[in-house]
Structure 1
């Protein structure tokens, strides 16, 4: 008999607030899956005509999914505060204890209009004891996370999460229930795949160019084997592939924005994905330091990201 997510949460999550918040997030992601699936029919594709705090043009589904997640989480008594990639400031309640929730409501939303996989990323942190939460309470290192996960909306909708040492994956069945399909994901140690936007090559630092050129040289080059390049342009989709079959994902510093350490957001993307990848046996760094040791200086701080199969991530760090 299929094992449903609610049974796993009830039996295996000891922290009541984490259990309650993960259940709310799972239900919200199932609802977002339906929104994404019906977006074209409902006329919800295209731009919303709004620029968000990241100075990015929002899609209509960015707005809808952000509003949905915010509403569901604010109704949950275990949520002390939330922070969204789409909102300038954290939303704090007067509740004490429970969880702080950071999320990217629709990662890769620029792909929605062309029917490419997108997703939702989330991260849970402990709320302070004895007082209501403040926005700066989100600004801890990645190892402070109580749980993290993402949903990917593709040919199948899948929910990947970690609330202990394991990384588990659930698939959305026809009845709208999340069913356990992958009890323990493990990133393969070796790989022959890398994911990077090669069109930005001229903007990278020399060590990253060197690493990619060695991969492209194939069996005749210093690596002695052929590599395939994969790039979806949706972090959820690219990281999901790595968790399933290995590989390395790189989003390095870019000379077009020299004052930024990278493009991806630490709280909403890098920290939760780093937790999942490391707990699945991989590695995650900014090219120098482990991502989980990084402390964001602000809610929307950015970082470079290199994550995936352990040996490849180490190699990128060595050339950096």
Structure 2
């Protein structure tokens, strides 16, 4: 019964005591979770809450915004502005940083993708939220975009919430990965998944196969070997899974292993890749690595990439260690397109 489980709040307090850390991060995460709970409620109610359909507008990425994209973004901003823990925010849906009024300003920076996988909203498939927390540089009173441009290794905390048959939060503060399931009856997250780890070996991969003709040679080589199954060089069969929601695909890897790829290809080369470094790749890489997995662009560790702009994109290849190591080795062998 959830009533006898540790709550997220109590878990964070114990983590704070163990590490002799400050309580501000615990309070900040409580604000983030309030936003996620409210988004979960909107997702649950769908059209009953007027949350389906498009807004007729585009975000900074040039993507058509769904109603729930806009509502989720506003909830993240509202729930995290007046807590007194943030110096500033940055959202995948916003052109520039979100300013926090001087009277509420704190010492952390929050980056978020308020609703990942929004193309799935209208067809009732799992979506999610992703967030990353950084420290604001010393001496900065009103942060600008430049202050957010820290490599992933500088993250204090990262997490995601998946809105599926149940709403689940997965997060890391650099001490392993822990999962919490929301009890809708009491509106609280309870500790349900301790020290989540990713198996080093897998027979599952997640990739958008419709882009195969655009991939670089190392990725095509890896996928062709998987598709060859027992009769190919890998001598085993693989399964393909693809939800088109990074949160959902990564969550599957967190629970049973696998590989997720949005690699460099001809379609995204000019933009640098498909997924956003600051809002998607870095927080997910932090989580994956803390669970024993590997995350790479194919050529370098994602968390060591020095960001150059808020909405920078990168190729993403992450998941079970032995498979990612193999894909990276194919890139290093010079199997270029």
TM-score for the superposition, normalised by structure 1: 0.98
Match of 2:140 in 1: 131
Q: Is the 8 A contact 1:111 1:118 kept in 2?
A: yes
Shift of 1:129: 2.1
CA distance in 2, matches of 1:106, 1:219: 39
CA distance in 1, matches of 2:51, 2:39: 12
Please tell me whether residue 168 in structure 1 is matched to residue 171 in structure 2: no
Match of 2:33 in 1: 26
CA distance in 1, matches of 2:144, 2:121: 34
Unaligned runs of 5+ in 2: 332-337
CA distance in 2, matches of 1:15, 1:221: 54
Match of 1:189 in 2: 200
CA distance in 2, matches of 1:180, 1:259: 42
Shift of 1:96: 6.0
Pairwise CA RMSD: 1.1
Please tell me whether residue 152 in structure 1 is matched to residue 162 in structure 2: yes
CA distance in 2, matches of 1:16, 1:260: 39
Any idea what SS the aligned residue of 1:312 has? Answer: helix
1:200-239 equivalences under 5 Å are 200-239=211-250
CA distance in 1, matches of 2:176, 2:158: 11
CA distance in 2, matches of 1:27, 1:73: 9
Any idea what SS the aligned residue of 1:225 has? Answer: coil
Match of 1:314 in 2: 325
Shift of 1:256: 2.0
Please tell me whether residue 58 in structure 1 is matched to residue 65 in structure 2: yes
Q: Is the 8 A contact 2:288 2:318 kept in 1?
A: yes
Q: Is the 8 A contact 1:85 1:104 kept in 2?
A: yes
Any idea what SS the aligned residue of 2:295 has? Answer: strand
Shift of 1:40: 1.6
Q: Is the 8 A contact 1:45 1:113 kept in 2?
A: yes
1:5-20 equivalences under 5 Å are 5-13=8-16, 14-20=21-27
Instruction: Give the number of the structure whose residues are more often helix, by fraction.
Output: 2
Match of 1:110 in 2: 119
Shift of 1:97: 4.9
Q: For residues 39-68 of structure 1, give each alpha carbon's deviation from its aligned partner in whole angstroms, at most 9, with x where no partner exists.
A: 221222011111000000000000000001
Shift of 1:277: 0.2
TM-score for the superposition, normalised by structure 2: 0.93
Q: Is the 8 A contact 1:96 1:130 kept in 2?
A: no
Any idea what SS the aligned residue of 2:270 has? Answer: coil
CA distance in 1, matches of 2:6, 2:106: 30
CA distance in 2, matches of 1:153, 1:121: 11
Which of 41-50 and 88-97 deviates more? 88-97
Which of 173-182 and 229-238 deviates more? 173-182
Match of 1:47 in 2: 54
CA distance in 2, matches of 1:36, 1:96: 30
Q: Is the 8 A contact 1:287 1:305 kept in 2?
A: yes
Match of 1:276 in 2: 287
Any idea what SS the aligned residue of 2:31 has? Answer: helix
Q: Is the 8 A contact 1:102 1:123 kept in 2?
A: yes
Q: How many residues align?
A: 320
Any idea what SS the aligned residue of 2:32 has? Answer: helix
